[in-house]
Amino acid sequence: MYALALAPGQAYLLIDRKNVRLMPDTRTQILDLAENAIRLRGYHAVSFRDLADEMGIKSASIHYHFRHKEDLGLAVVDRYADRIATQVGAPDAQDWPRSLALFCQVYRDALRKNQLQCLCGMLAAESAGLPDKVATRVSEFFRGNIAWLTAAMPPDMPDKPGLALRIQCQLQGAMTVAVSLKDLSVMDRAAQQICASAAD
């Protein structure tokens, strides 16, 4: 079996007689599992041991990649924020309805993809009990979203920051309620209503 690094921190191309498979490297695998676990159960309910067991390695090996739990938490949040930023791209003030629809879509996908709420929704709820740095990154994520929405609005719009904040809150709340009620359509309906009310 041969393993070939494609890009640092990304993946190995694993080659054996039967398969040619793209396998995430260990660090990426840890981040993936940690993100899922946090989004499902919350920061405090995630343990190095559980993650390690799921991967078939020892918890000490996770500490090799992320010295402290806080480091893992920060890495998960940063990667998540980057991913969302990539997905929404640069705000386009030329076409506000389209930008808004895209924003809502990204939020909906986050929930729909694996029935898990947005990472920062979970961490925001927990924020008073998180390590300071992690809580700060989470609030920066929200501030970034609000700034993006504001920048995507046409110049003549009144009370842009107020509307941006409202949209952020609505999507966030819909996600939380959808998860609790186990009814993901709550999220879809919220997104639809937000887009519709922005069209006038």
Partner DNA sequence: ATACATCTACCTACTACTAGATAGATACAT
Partner DNA sequence: ATGTATCTATCTAGTAGTAGGTAGATGTAT
């700060």: which residue's tokens?
Answer: 136
By CB under 8 A, is residue 147 in contact with a copy of itself?
A: no
By CB under 8 A, is residue 177 in contact with a copy of itself?
A: yes
Number of residues that bind a copy of itself (CB under 8 A): 43
Which of DNA, a copy of itself, none interacts with 138 (beta carbon under 5 to 8 A by kind)? a copy of itself
Selected binder of a copy of itself within 30, 122, 149, 164 (CB under 8 A): 122
Residue 200's Cβ-count burial label (10 Å; 0-12, 13-18, 19+) is: exposed
Selected binder of a copy of itself within 61, 139, 154, 157 (CB under 8 A): 139
Contacts with DNA, residue ranges (CB under 7 A) = 25-26, 46-50, 56-61, 63-65, 67-70
Q: Name the amino acid, one letter, at 48.
A: F
Extract long-range pairs of 3-11: CB within 8 Å, 24+ residues apart.
none
Selected binder of a copy of itself within 102, 125, 184, 195 (CB under 8 A): 125
Q: What are the residues binding a copy of itself (CB under 8 A)?
A: 40-42, 44-45, 116-117, 120-129, 135, 138-139, 142-143, 162, 165-166, 168-177, 179-182, 186, 189-190, 193
